[in-house]
Structure 1
Amino acid sequence: MAAPENPCPSIMPLQSLPRLALLALSSLALLAACSKPVEKAEEIRPVRAIRLAAGNVDVAAEFSGEVRARIESRLGFRVGGKIIARKVDVGAIVKRGQVLMQLDPQDMQLAQAQANAGLKAAESNRDLARAELKRYQDLREKNFVSQAVLDSKETAFKAAQASYEQALAAFRNQSNQAGYTTLVSDVDGVVTGVDAEVGQVVAPGTPVVRVARTGEKEIVIGIPEDKVDVLRRMTDVRVRTWARPDEIIPGKLRELSPVADPATRTYTAKIAIPNAPDHVKLGMTAYVAFSTKSQDAMITLPLTALFQDKSATAVWVVENGAVKAVPVQVAGSSGNEIVVAAGISPGQTIVTAGVNLLKPGQKVKILGGDAAAKDEKALASGRNPAPLAPAALNAGAGQ
């Protein structure tokens, strides 16, 4: 008997469905293998930038320091002994001749009494030798004694006189020693330090009290070694205190140490302020600013253009739409900008915002067409481009 015909010739048999599915999957895999991979678009980061121009600027550098007296004495006893009294505290104002400390004077007084007794004995011997000489001179005139006897009496008198003078000098010296048990101030000033206390035994010359002389004050600062030669030539020195930052006090570089401090590796500089107001007290924090007009044209940059590349300060230079890191040498500051001494040249385009988000060779897009036009106009007039506003900096850094 013959098989019945398919009533729906347009519908495939169920046995053919798995084969069709395999065929469709194979076609899709073949098409995927032949298609090209999707290319990843290169990232272009937006930045703010300026074009450099050189000009004469006010080079400035500022350092913090401490107000000190120009002359500060470290006073000590001329003799050794035990301290029995301290008459002053730190910060006390003292006058010339005022007692500061005292030593136990008992030993010195005994030595002085001993020297006094020796002086009296030498004086008695001298008087006796003088009387003997006078008597023998009379006998010699009457020819009762020989000249040799008279000469011996003269020699005895001279020896007694010398012994008396020796005893007198010893007594005076011992009297001075007894007076040295009291330490007095030799100037008008203020006590800045006390280095010994009651009951302590000190040796001769050991500093026990520090007294700063009232009068001219100065600022002591530390200067880095790379700025010593530059700051030495600057004559415009201005001082301001932390208590009154708006008040400018003229200063003068009085002393610059030729040797670096072994701890800080900076060179100690002393800035004299002869006309310091009364409100400038010892120990105050002060800021010393050095400024001068540069003789050669120099380049200035906003502080936001600098970043630290390993151990050097660098900037991003834009060339052909990409950036590269260029090390620079900073000479100082001028207002709110940094003066660059070497590393870059006028005409180059420098990134001023977003520097910490870049890497060497990265493509960038410079934002702010209006700002760029202003920079070109500033270049044409021979001035440096104006630094970016804070809002623009934040916008560029956040891109």
Structure 2
Amino acid sequence: MFRYVLPLVVPVSLAFLLSACGHDEPVPVAVRPAMVVKPQPSAQAMDSYPGEVRARFEPDLAFRIGGKVSRRLVEEGQRVKANQALAELDPEDVRLQLEATRAQVAAAEANLNLVRAERDRYKTLLDRQMVSRSQYDNAENLYRSGAARLKQIKAEFDVANNQASYSVLRAPQDGVVARRSVEVGQVVSAGQTVFTLATDGEREVLISLPEQGFGRFKIGQPVSVELWSQPDQLFSGRIRELSPSADPKSRTFAARVAFTAGSVPAELGQSARVFIQTADKVSLSVPLSALTAENGATYVWVVNANNTLKKVPVRVGAFGEKSVPVLEGLGPDDWVVAAGVHVLLDGQQVRPVDRSNRVVNLAAKE
């Protein structure tokens, strides 16, 4: 019996299996990541100047009195806190001066007590008409002179007391000792620079500008800054300060460039390069890896706000070492795929990321 039933069961089972397979949901296609960059100003239209990362504020620290340096408590490059002692002078001279002034205060107080008692005695005698008015006025003047003398000596004592505290040089705020100018045993005068402090806070780039064409540089002029520790990233900045005179040795003008890009990972002493526009109209550039060619035409892949790809034809200039200028076809706000362009398709959905593999929200950056 089973011989006759089996041929009927097998086709029916196969039919059920096929019908079940027909209702399977399609496997979703994974959205591939795509590294994107914005076109940068072409290096052919930019002048570059090497520079060094410096602190926005670099006060020169000095003793307010002169003397012999007895102790140096910090080294160059050391981080210090506000009110931390940096160096000390030999306190013997200021201590002796303070003691001498204290003795003068005691003498002035004793003299004031004496002339006060003398004045009071003359006042009693004047009331009894036993002394003349002129004698009493003389005693009164001596009392007033003694009171003024005591006030003067107390002020001198306060000055001497302050000078005793000036024998210790302290940091006005947090920062790093950028330069040291004295050694232990050296005699310094009041106001002579002992340390230069690079205070915590804003960082800038110090560059030197040549004499030729110096007039085209203006305070507030926008620039781009590249840190040598991060060569693939440009930070926006502006010229904050221009020296009014040239350095007598190098014949260059010092300029300070402030960052305008918010938080920038710039550390003191790092090398940097500042790019300044040379023409009114600057062509854009993209990495060489962003280009693709088809039928003799050059294209780049632009990511739209909805994270889809679009092949855009461009006209490029002479190829550089790492980038190529784009003369036509791109805008400064476009996002271009910078790697893996040979496997992309028009209209393909992607997940844009930056060079650090962080997701880029194109809609928010538009």
Normalised-by-shorter TM-score class: 0.5 to 0.7
Distance 1:93 1:275 in 2: 26
| 1:63 is the counterpart of 2:46 | no
> Does the residue aligned with 2:45 lie in a helix, a strand or coil?
strand
Distance 1:278 1:88 in 2: 28
> Does the residue aligned with 1:88 lie in a helix, a strand or coil?
coil
Q: Which amino acid aligns with 1:238?
A: S
Q: What is the aligned-residue identity percentage? A: 37
| 1:191 is the counterpart of 2:177 | yes
The structure with the largest alpha-carbon Rg is 1
Please, which runs of 5 or more residues in structure 2 have no aligned partner?
1-42, 287-295, 297-313, 322-366
Alignment of 1:78-89 (within 5 A): 78-89=64-75
Q: Which amino acid aligns with 1:387?
A: A
**C-alpha distance after superposition, 1:65-113 (max 9, x if no partner):** 0111111111111112111111111122212211000111011111110
Greater displacement, 275-284 / 109-118: 275-284
Match of 2:165 among 166, 171, 179: 179
Partner residue in 1 for 2:123? 137
Partner residue in 1 for 2:318? 387
Distance 1:292 1:265 in 2: 21
- How far is the alpha carbon of 1:236 from its aligned partner? 3.2
Pick closer, same or farther for the CA change 1:274–1:282 going to 2, 3 Å.
Answer: farther
Distance 2:278 2:320 in 1: 26
Q: Return the TM-score normalized by structure 2.
A: 0.63
Distance 1:184 1:389 in 2: 52
- How far is the alpha carbon of 1:293 from its aligned partner? 6.0
Pick closer, same or farther for the CA change 1:292–1:263 going to 2, 3 Å.
Answer: closer
Distance 1:63 1:289 in 2: 7
Partner residue in 2 for 1:122? 108
Partner residue in 2 for 1:45? none
Partner residue in 1 for 2:258? 272
Pick closer, same or farther for the CA change 1:140–1:161 going to 2, 3 Å.
Answer: same
Partner residue in 1 for 2:78? 92
**How many residues are matched?**
255
Distance 1:289 1:169 in 2: 57
Alignment of 1:1-399 (within 5 A): 59-232=45-218, 235-273=221-259, 275=261, 277=263, 279-291=265-277, 294=280, 386-387=317-318
> Does the residue aligned with 1:125 lie in a helix, a strand or coil?
helix
- How far is the alpha carbon of 1:235 from its aligned partner? 3.6
Distance 2:222 2:196 in 1: 33
> Does the residue aligned with 2:59 lie in a helix, a strand or coil?
strand
**C-alpha distance after superposition, 1:137-188 (max 9, x if no partner):** 1221222221111101001111111211121122111111111111111122
Q: Return the TM-score normalized by structure 1.
A: 0.58
Please, which runs of 5 or more residues in structure 1 have no aligned partner?
1-56, 299-332, 337-370, 372-382, 391-399
**Retained in 2: the 8 A contact 1:102–1:181?**
yes
Distance 1:174 1:386 in 2: 73
Please give the root-mean-square deviation of Cα atoms over the aligned residues, in Å: 2.9
